[in-house]
Amino acid sequence: MSGPGRRLLALAAVTALAVLAALAVHAPRDAPERAQVGTPALPALAAAPDAATRIVIAGAGFALTLDRAAEGGWTWRERDGFPADPRRVAAALDGLAGLRLVAPMTARPARYPRLGVADITDPDSRALRVDIEAADAAPLGRLLIGGRPAAAVEPSVYVRRVFEARAWRAAGIPAVPRDPLDWFDRTPIDLAPDRVRRIVVERPGRLPVRLDRDRGDAAFEADGAAIDGDGAAALAALPQSLAWLDVRSGTVPDGETAFRLGFVTEDGLSITIVEAGAEVGEGAAALWVAIAAGTAPGATAAAAATAADLAEGVDGWQFRLDPALFEPVSAL
């Protein structure tokens, strides 16, 4: 072979070696990731979403455990099994199961904070960690949910599977509440103020105060109390505005309490709110109450059904409230 031919052959060999070297460098890193594009972020959950029996939601400084109850609902383990809102849990599981990996992002821990997927052991982490398990404690998914891309064409979110280095942009935005309280229905009483016909306020050492109004009347007539129209309207609206801040197991206290509020509707639904204790901590003061639902004499069947539904949600529980909700009582 002539000199030029040997040189061409040597050049071709060098080029081939360079190509092979490049493939050796890039293929192991890129090929597996390319294969994952379009696949579920949580394959086990996507394959069997109904198998979930436990969900742990955690962030920097908080954790919440939801367990599937025998009858199919979900309960809050840290609060003695208080029921979660089943619609919100179902929406979260559907959203998580539907997440699809779109684009690989960084695998460098120093860059995780930019995407909001740093481990929650970092006190500055903005990530929400979700762990989902089946009945045999087999993991269905462990995911860190971060921020949302600013310029994404489709709704998406940054995620990173726990114990994996690679972060991803995933298509879909799962409805996973970041505030633990948002997994629950925090307003147990659905009572329009204009339905209230009677309010009774009882406090130790003072005569009871009774306010009444007839059907169609906006103003209450006070029995032994001087109260303006705005104050009475605020009292009538109080049951509907009770958004609890915490919950614990407990019954309606017997005997004297700081106060007891009774509300009766035009169809005979009766709701009683009873003080169950107060506390003052480092933050704002708090008031605990218990709620009882029943019927007054002459109540309709509809009122009895409403009372039974309400009792199912409040019996055996006490609720922590903002004391400011009860300021209208102090005006009496």
Buried b (16+ CB within 10 A) or exposed e, 15-33: eeeeeeeeeeeeeeeeeee
pLDDT at 31: 60
pLDDT at 18: 43
Summarize pLDDT for 248-288 with one digit per residue, the tens. 999 988 877 678 999 999 999 999 999 998 776 555 578 99
Chain centre distance of CA 184:
6
pLDDT at 1: 53
pLDDT at 255: 72
pLDDT at 314: 95
DSSP state of 96: H
Residue 290 CA to residue 326 CA, distance in Å, equals: 14
Residue 288 CA to residue 319 CA, distance in Å, equals: 5
Contacts of 148 (CB under 8 A, 6+ apart): 155, 156, 157, 158, 173
Average pLDDT value over all residues in the chain: 86
pLDDT at 226: 53
pLDDT at 259: 85
The stretches in the chain having pLDDT less than 70 are: 1-31, 152, 216, 223-229, 257, 280-284, 331-332
Chain centre distance of CA 192:
25
Residue 10 CA to residue 289 CA, distance in Å, equals: 88
